[in-house]
A and B are shown apart, each in its own frame.
Chain A
Amino acid sequence: MPDTPGPGRPEPSDAELLRRHVAGDTEAFGELFRRHRDRLWAVALRTVCDPEEAADALQDAMVSAFRRAGDFRGESAVTTWLHRIVVNASLDRLRRRAARPATSSGDEQAFEALAAHDGDHARSTDTRLDVNAALRMLPPQQRAALVVVDMLGFSVADAAVILGTSPGTVKSRCARARARLLPYVAHLQGNRSAAERVQPGADS
């Protein structure tokens, strides 16, 4: 998340790379993107919940950021700005998908995936799969808030910039999302403590 290189790192800061890009350095933006691409990919993938659509959203976002970098005002960190563009592109993808009747049954599919998992949850080791299925059931705005704050570790203030809303709204969305996820991830918490005690299935 830091916008400037740590001590001992000779690389230019994010802001410097963006300046070079705007000044015509054809390599600078690519370097900036490579520096943050895993986190940007993560936010797109977790928000959109579909690899292909997430890839398209990320591409949209990066082309947009590339072209409009000259308008970056420096009011936030470069990473915050990049994440904001990715979240917007991701939510935009979701709105388009929601408008397509054929694929609007995502929630039902998520529920089915969860139900299928409940059967053998004591043996489940793929926490990631369960978390993704649970995240998918959240309304997109709540999901985006939770992804940015809980999964990526942004502060509420930065998340507010990324999500284009107030800190109070970010807190409210996170709170509602956590409460909503509670029933679905409780068994994972149980599994983790059970695994730590080396008693698989003890809490099932």
Chain B
Amino acid sequence: MRGQMAHLDAEVLAEFRMGLIAGRRGAAITAHLAGCDRCTALGDQLAGVSALLASVPLPAMPDSLAQRLDTVLAAEAARPEQVKTDQAERGDADHPAHPATDRTRRPRLSLPRLSLRVLAPVAAVVVAAGGYGLSQLAGSGGQVTASSGSSAGAEANTSGSRNAASHTS
């Protein structure tokens, strides 16, 4: 970042354009762009990616699917009792978990489907449980480890059902 700056990487430039790079590094990029046609052109191309995506027309929903969903929703409307049951079970709809049909099609997450993100807290539970067992044997610290184990268990449940939308990709 000192003296002559090398040409910008597309990802760095894209991050800069999103305002993710500030401070001295951001100032250095600004200065570089002022004198570099090549990187300025790259920035234009990145803007072009967004423009291109925005220009693609939205697909209209196929009639067959529209009819199918109307039928499904009409069937839901015919089962008012189910609404209350499900709402009571599922909690906060602002933070939707798995779709409703998961309950019938996939009662529980099976291990091969679990992502690392989901597995990590599960592993934490296993480790904590192991730690708990060992500390029980050792006769000290069992209380603390047990409580961390149960909170990790709660975490595993929520991150499992909250989906892995929080994956960093």
A81 touching B93 in the complex, CB below 8 Å, given contacts A62-B72, A141-B168: yes
Scoring B11, B18, B48, B72 by chain A CB atoms within 10 A of each residue's CB, the highest score goes to B18
Residues of A within 8 A of B (CB): 24, 26-27, 29-30, 33-34, 37-39, 41-42, 45, 51, 55, 57-73, 75-76, 81, 84-85, 87-89, 91-92, 95-96, 99, 127-128, 131, 139-142, 146, 150-153, 163-165, 168-169, 171-176, 178-182, 185-186, 188-189, 192
Say which residue of A75, A89, A141, A150 sits within 8 Å of B99 (CB atoms).
A89
Judge whether A65 and B93 touch: CB under 8 Å: yes
Chain A hits for B20, CB < 8 A: 168, 171-172, 175
Q: Residue of A at shortest CB range from B20?
A: A171
Report the tally of A-B residue pairs with Cβ distances under 8 A: 212
Task: Tell whether, in the assembled complex, residue A63 and residue B76 are in contact, meaning their CB atoms are under 8 Å apart.
Answer: yes
Contacts of B10 in A (CB 8 A): 178-179, 182
Interface locus among B29-37, B52-60, B126-134, B147-155: B52-60
Q: How far is the CA of A176 from the CA of B167 in the complex (A)?
A: 14
Q: Is the CB of A42 within 8 A of B169?
A: no
Task: Answer yes or no: B7 CB below 8 A from chain A CBs.
Answer: no
A38–B62 alpha-carbon span in the complex (Å): 9
- Select one of B53, B86, B162 contacting A67, CB under 8 A: B86
Interface size on B, residues (CB 8 A): 67
Contact B73 A38 (CB under 8 A): no
In the assembled complex, B143 has its CB within 8 A of some CB on chain A:
no
Could you tell me the distance in whole angstroms from the C-beta of B136 to the nearest C-beta in chain A?
A: 36
Among residues 1 to 27 in chain B, which have CB atoms less than 8 Å away from a CB atom of chain A? 9-11, 13-15, 17-20
B100 proximity list for chain A (CB < 8 A): 60, 63-64, 66-68
Interface centre among A27, A33, A140, A172 (most CB of B within 10 A): A172
Complex Cα spacing A92 to B160, Å? 11
**Cross-chain pairs A/B with CB under 8 angstroms, 6 sampled:** A59-B101, A99-B112, A127-B55, A151-B54, A180-B11, A185-B48
